[in-house]
Structure 1
Amino acid sequence: MEFWQALVQAPLITISNLVLAHYRALGMTNRQLIVYLQMVSFTAAGQQFPPIKEIAQRTGLTEDEIYGALHEMLDAGFIDLRTQTDSAGKQMDWYDLTPLYARLAEKYGQSNPISDSGEPEQAPVTRQRLFDEIEVEFGRPLSPIEQETISAWLDEDHYSPELVSLALREAVLNQAYSLKYMDRILLSWEKRNIRTKADVERERANRNRF
């Protein structure tokens, strides 16, 4: 019973499939990935500057190996070390794990092949690609609640992955990195019977004429 209670109470972590698919292409080693995943786990539990000793105990790596992996990731721009001051004036260090997603965004933006016409070919927006796109643009993993929201758009509201991706583009253009903003866009489009990419482009063309 204690195990199942601990299992239910343990915080969930999410990691983009893009990280697992492309970490080697970015130059990240297996050891660095293991340490990075442990950092994600500690951050989800509220520890943004976890003790090196605890990471070593979890991974079986030595403390020197952990230090080495962290310094390598800092030098490579996969993570960043930041300092913040609390209300009492005390300074605290914490690890920012989002730079890795910025590196992925650079790679992701260069991955579209070029067609015969010289224009980038857009790959079909699949369900998984949509989740990956949102994580890259938001610069962080999606929370379980956010994943449920996106799934509801697809499964209950029957929005296509392509339409949700277009709503993401609109949100990014307006520097609004939130699902609530995307939801308002999707609801607005639904009221105007905008359901496809062609509908969105037609709406934009009409808007630009005025």
Structure 2
Amino acid sequence: MKPNDNDRKRVERALLAGMTAGTVAVPHLLLRYYHRMKLSELEVMLLIHILAFQENEKKDFPTHDEIQDRMTTPQDQVIEAIQKLVNSGVLRIEQEIDSVSDIQYERYNLRPMYEKIASCYAEDLLQKAARQAEAQRSEAQPGREKDVYSIFEAEFARPLTPMELETITSWLDRDGYKEELVLAALKEAVFAGKVHFRYVDRILLEWSRNRITTVEQAKEFTQKFRGNR
């Protein structure tokens, strides 16, 4: 017997009610950063299923069978992916004891996943803040610090990190080193084959202790130092 329109509408309403009965709060930042966290689509789907079990069905430790029943992936791959998530520190399996029954049980803890997501987000915020600060400095002092950053990046053969950008700014603004003196210290570090910020900072500190404030004084001090070695 062919169903009439009323029957079809009743079935549709029932299906709609079922689909909207429960939702899973998937963190947007997980979808944004899972590639940076080196997670595969399979691993992300596993995390979402674990979230669904915990939020909607109150199952803190769904079995491999329960998870695999809702996926197209073979069970051996599901088990392997879960183990990888645990080994990489994204997922944690904890053992707890029920306070009422005194029975030991296991549960999945997703906090490590949230911590890694937070780390990625914080890194983006710091980089954004550093770029904004650099843009503001460049507008306030055109052609000055921008050149310093570019020269450092050229010598290091890579973009500078937010902390490294802040270090250069600190040398110029807080410590009061002249731009040409900072670049002279960088040149000395390159000559010594020690191209890293700690060595440049050590050179600047040594020059400061010896009251060196110009590039000419720095050259004389360096030549004298090399001559005494």
TM-score range, shorter chain: 0.5 to 0.7
Partner of 2:106: 93
TM-score (norm 1): 0.52
Rounded to whole Å, the distance in 2 between the matches of 1:115 and 1:4 is: 47
Mapped partners of 1:116, 1:24: distance in 2: 25
1:48 counterpart residue number: 60
Alignment of 1:12-161 (within 5 A): 12-44=23-55, 45-86=57-98, 87-111=100-124, 112-113=127-128, 114-115=130-131, 117=133
Q: CA deviation at 1:22?
A: 0.9
Q: Report the structure number with the largest CA radius of gyration.
A: 2
The 1:5–1:73 alpha-carbon spacing in structure 2 relative to 1, beyond 3 Å, is: same
Shift in Å, 1:8 = 4.1
Residues in 1 aligned to 2:20 and 2:26: alpha-carbon distance in whole angstroms: 19
SS in 2 for 1:58: coil
Higher relative contact order (CA 8 A, sep 6+): 1
CA-based RMSD: 2.3
Instruction: Spell out structure 1 runs of 4+ moving beyond 2 A.
Output: 1-9, 115-120
Residues 119/83 of structure 1: CA separation in 2 closer, same or farther (3 Å cut): farther
Normalising by structure 2, we get a TM-score of 0.48
Consecutive unaligned residues of structure 1, counting only runs of 5 or more, are: 121-210
When you count helix as a share of all residues, which structure comes out higher? 2
Q: Which runs of 5+ in 2 are unaligned?
A: 1-10, 137-229
